Amino acid sequence: MHRLARAIMEAASLFEHCRLPEVFGGHPRTRETPFPGLYTKADWPQAWSASAVFTILQALLGIYPFAPAKILFLDPHLPEWLPEITVERMRVGQATISLRFYRSENGATRYEIKDQEGILHLVRQPSPWSQSLGWRERIKDAVFSAIGSSGKAA
């Protein structure tokens, strides 16, 4: 995901207003040809390309809101090229939250709550529908979530 996210972000930076077109082609990038191949009839922005950045961000941060239970699942993994990012005023049900995600010196991604309005419980673990975790990992993650990323009980 880190590699794909970087490639999409780098490609977006080459287009006007960082807007990804509907379609573009690739070729080996060199100093002489840093720009992707363009399709002259491609439209932009498109719904998928406009939402691509948010989908990538959701994947990197492992954000999965479950509004009926007032829960926000998080499983953040920031790449080296993105050491910090802040999500401001994200709505989950009736709650609003601002979170700062950052890479620690050992490469682990941590988070801190910058602002919160309303009731919202943060649980640090992959989505409940994740196929990659067993019950031991889920218990460990639930305990870590109760302690919080600061190491203090919430």
Q: How far apart are CA 48 and CA 46, in angstroms?
A: 6
Helix, strand, coil shares of the chain, percent, nearest 5, are 30, 25, 45
Looking at the structure of the chain, the number of domains it has is: 2
The pLDDT of 100-105, averaged and rounded, is 95
Average pLDDT, the chain: 81
Residue range 16-41, pLDDT digits in tens: 788 777 777 767 777 877 777 666 77
Residue 152: pLDDT over 50? no
Do 90 and 150 share a structural domain?
yes
Which of the two residues, 149 and 124, has the higher pLDDT score? 124
Q: How far apart are CA 102 and CA 86, in angstroms?
A: 9
Q: Would you say the pTM of this structure is higher than 0.75?
A: no
Q: Which of 82, 75, 74 is nearest to 2 (CA)?
A: 82
The pLDDT of 81-104, averaged and rounded, is 96
The CA angle 130-133-136, to the nearest 5 degrees, is: 145
| Domain finish residue from 14, 41, 61 | 61
Confidence of residue 149 (pLDDT cuts 50, 70, 90): very low
Residue range 118-148, pLDDT digits in tens: 999 999 887 666 656 666 666 665 555 554 5
Confidence of residue 5 (pLDDT cuts 50, 70, 90): confident
Do 92 and 57 share a structural domain?
no
pLDDT value for 141: 59
Do 73 and 37 share a structural domain?
no
Q: How far apart are CA 53 and CA 115, in angstroms?
A: 23
Do 36 and 104 share a structural domain?
no
| Domain finish residue from 28, 61, 94 | 61
Do 97 and 79 share a structural domain?
yes
